[in-house]
Structure formats: structure tokens, C-alpha cells
Amino acid sequence: MSEFNENPALARRVWPVGALCRAVADALDARFNPVTVRGEISGFSRASSGHCYFSLKDEAGQLRCAMFRRAASLLDFQPRDGDQVEVRGRLAVYEPRGDLQLVVESLRRAGQGALFEQFLQRKARLEAEGLFDPARKRPIPVMPTRIGLVTSLGAAALHDVVTALRRRAPHVEVVLAPAAVQGAQAPAELVAALRALYVLTPAPDVILLVRGGGSIEDLWAFNDEILARTIAASPMPLVSGVGHETDFTIADFCADVRAPTPTAAAELAAAPQALWLEALGLVGERLDDALGRRLDVLGQRLDLAAGRLGRPSGLVARQRLGLAHQAQRMHHAVVSRTERLAQAQRVLQADLPLKVARSLAQRQDRLGRIGDRLQLLDPALVLQRGYAWLADPQGRAITSATQLGPGDAVRARLADGTVSMTVDAG
């Protein structure tokens, strides 16, 4: 201390800590800000306030970062540890601890700038051609029996989709067409897999094109133009489930339906089996109710018809009594006529010559034969010879086939009873 007092030239300014921190912050602001930094996210966390905190690192260094709620709300993806990103912000000193930190104002995946511009240009061109036109979008089949699936054999998306389908619709057949979903060879393999499903027999009812999330570089195969045109040419509805909910690719815009995740794609394509079983149960109950009501109505109509017709045996008895009465009248008429003729013969034989008597005898014989023939016409005797007397339900006699049609009811009286019949053909 004495040295400082004795040699003023060697004296140095003594900074308060807070003032020095502010001075360093001012120097950083004047020298660097605004600044763009590229690195890997480490230790990412989001506080309940909405602020985000993480470190940005590479092989040579590490920088603490803070992203406040307003800037974090503008993110179009969920940052995760290990993501390569580019951040734009302002270097500052957190004075309470004297820590250097980068206050992040915007954050995007590394390399996203050039790729994103290419994505936007390709999207605009294909949209102008009508590949994204909502009018060409088709609905997903309500009850598919066969689903085509395009994804990588090693992808977690394959497990997610198969698990969801087994849980929801175990009766649905899944046909896998494997293809790489990342890398230079991926677009060609995806196109080949889709085309293989297009010509498959029997054809799938719907196709799922899926893969898990990733950076724009990871998903770039799904922005391929040939793949986009292949999707648009699909002969059956196609559902894309590529990446996470915030990820969008050109394949999503070309597909008939875009699902936010692979699992969601499976859920969109197949409704739960239990739901259909419940619906079938409700339909069965409604059919039972409708059938019961119909049977009740028909039963009432049958009772009413039976009441109007009365007992068939009563009708036959009345008809039989009428026939017997007519037969008795005919018999009495024949006997009376015979007696009158016999009396006239006796009178004439007494007064007329033999010739006249012979003529009367011939006429009497003829009348006798006529009487016998009349007795043969007795309906009861006709019925005993195997004939039947036919009548409609109202008791009217049926004398011609033209009176009947298919389905008409007929009652036949036989010698020993009656029979109800229905006409099969006219």
C-alpha cells in the first residue's frame, strides 16, 4: 500500500464490482452486438415463467444463454439437447453473478437458412401446379381392412404405428414397404416403396408414410420433388406422419391427410375396434326393436282379418246346408212331375187308343231317365266321386281360373270336410 502512496504514477483506478461489470457489458455491446453464434445446445430447460436457459458449446468453448419468454414464444420447434443451432442475440454480463451470457433473441436449426429458402421455393412451385389443391384431397376410408406402411425397418415410427394399430384395430392387415427415411438414397427408396404399394394386389385401402422427428436436414428426403409427385399420383388415400407436430415437409402438403406424428397417422387410419363393435350392437338393438314393432302390427292385422272372416267351418256348414236344400227341392220336383205324368198316363190310357198309350209310355220312360239324370247331378253325389266345390274367402263360388291369381286364398269343400288352399301360380 505504501508503494501506491509513494509512487502515484503506479497507482491504478479501483473499480467497484458492479461498475466494472457494467463497463465490461458496455464494451461487449459496442464491440460485438448484435452477434450470431453457432453451436450445440446443452442443458436446455424451460422455467415456469416461460424463460428458457441453456448452454451453447462446441469443441473449444461454452457460452451460457438465456432466452426470455417473448422470444421463446416465437419458436417453431422444440429445442433439445444435442441440436445444432444458430442463435442471434446480444452478449451481456449478468451482474449479480458476474457471468458472461448471451441473451438470445432468435434461434433456428443450424443450416436452416439455405435449406429453408430452398424448401419455400419448391413449395411455392408445386403449389402453383396444383399438387396441394384441397379439391384433390380424398377422405380416409372409414373401415380399412388393409393398410400400406412406408418407413424404415429401424425407425421408432415403425414400432409406434404397429403398436397403435394392434391396439386399436388388430383385424386390419398391415403391409410394410421398407425404405430409408434419411440420407441421399432415401428419396429414391421412398418412391420405390410407394410405387410397389400402388400396384399391390389386393391393393391397400390407405397408405401411411411416416418417420420420427428431426432437424430440417434429417427430414429433407420428404421435401424431394419426385417423391412429392409420386405422393400426388397415389391411387389410394395417403396419410403423412413425418416428424413432430411442428415439423412440416412438402410430403405433408401433397398427402391427402397430414398427421402430426406417426402414432397419430395410425390413429387417423383405423378407428378402434371397440367403437365399431359398440356401433354394431346399437344397430342390432334397433333392428330387434323395429322387427318387434313390425310383428306387432302384422299380428293386429291378422287378428282383424280373422275376426272379419269368422270360423271357416261355419261357412262350409252354411254352404252344405244350402246344397242339401237345393238337392231336396230338385228331388221333390222330379217326384211331383213323375206322379203327375203317371196320373195323366192313367187317364189317357183309359180313353185313347193303344198307340197313344204307347207314346205316353215312351214319354214316361224318358221322364224317368231324366229324373235319374237329375239325381246324378246332386252336388253331394258329385263330391263323393272325388270332386270339390271351390269358394273364395267371402263364400262366392269359383267357376273359372280367371277369378284367381297367385297368392289368393281358396276354400275347397270335399265330401268329408273342407280344405284351405293358396294359389301358387295363375
* Structure confidence at residue 189 (pLDDT): 96
Half-sphere exposure of 374 (CA within 13 A, CB side): 18
Model confidence pLDDT, tens digit, residues 180-207 = 999 899 999 999 999 999 999 999 999 9
Residues 158 and 93 in one domain: no
Residues 320 and 394 in one domain: yes
Indicate whether 400 belongs to any domain.
Answer: yes
Residues 68 and 162 in one domain: no
Indicate whether 366 belongs to any domain.
Answer: yes
* Structure confidence at residue 1 (pLDDT): 47
* Rg, C-alpha atoms of the chain: 53
CA distance 406 to 71: 86
* Structure confidence at residue 226 (pLDDT): 96
Model confidence pLDDT, tens digit, residues 366-404 = 887 877 777 666 677 777 777 787 888 888 888 887 888
- Give the amino acid at 401: A
Residues 317 and 383 in one domain: yes
Residues 359 and 265 in one domain: no
Indicate whether 295 belongs to any domain.
Answer: no
Indicate whether 138 belongs to any domain.
Answer: no
List the 206-211 sheet strands across, edge first: 173-178, 146-151, 206-211, 238-242, 257-258
* Structure confidence at residue 349 (pLDDT): 59
* Structure confidence at residue 25 (pLDDT): 66
Give the CATH number of the domain where residue 174 resides.
3.40.50.2300
**Residue 126 near residue 132, CB atoms below 8 Å:** yes
Task: Indicate the residue among 94, 110, 126 that finishes a domain.
Answer: 110
CA distance 324 to 328: 6
- The pLDDT mean for the chain works out to 82
Output the nine-digit C-alpha cell for 80. Answer: 433439445
Task: Indicate the residue among 68, 92, 110 that finishes a domain.
Answer: 110
Indicate whether 320 belongs to any domain.
Answer: yes
Give the CATH number of the domain where residue 68 resides.
2.40.50.140
- Domain around 345: 312-422
Strand, coil or helix: 33: coil
Residues 167 and 260 in one domain: yes
417: left (phi over 0), alpha (psi -120 to 50) or beta: left
How much is the pTM?
0.47
Residues 262 and 171 in one domain: yes
Residues 168 and 255 in one domain: yes
- Give the amino acid at 22: R
Residues 178 and 246 in one domain: yes
Indicate whether 137 belongs to any domain.
Answer: no
Indicate whether 413 belongs to any domain.
Answer: yes
Residues 104 and 149 in one domain: no
* Structure confidence at residue 361 (pLDDT): 75
CA distance 103 to 44: 14
* Structure confidence at residue 40 (pLDDT): 86
Phi, psi angle pair for 406, to nearest 5°? -55, 130
Residues 93 and 7 in one domain: yes
3-state helix, strand, coil split of the chain in percent (to 5) is 50, 20, 30
Indicate whether 277 belongs to any domain.
Answer: no
Residue-wise DSSP of 218-256: TTGGGG-HHHHHHHHT-SS-EEEEES-TT---HHHHHSS
In the chain, how many domains are there? 3
What secondary structure letter does DSSP report for 134? G
Burial of 181 (0-12, 13-18, 19+ CB in 10 A): buried
What residue ranges of the chain have pLDDT lower than 70?
1-11, 17-18, 21, 25-26, 28-32, 95, 98, 111-114, 273-279, 308-316, 344-345, 347-357, 375-378, 425-426
Task: Indicate the residue among 110, 135, 168 that finishes a domain.
Answer: 110
Residues 162 and 247 in one domain: yes
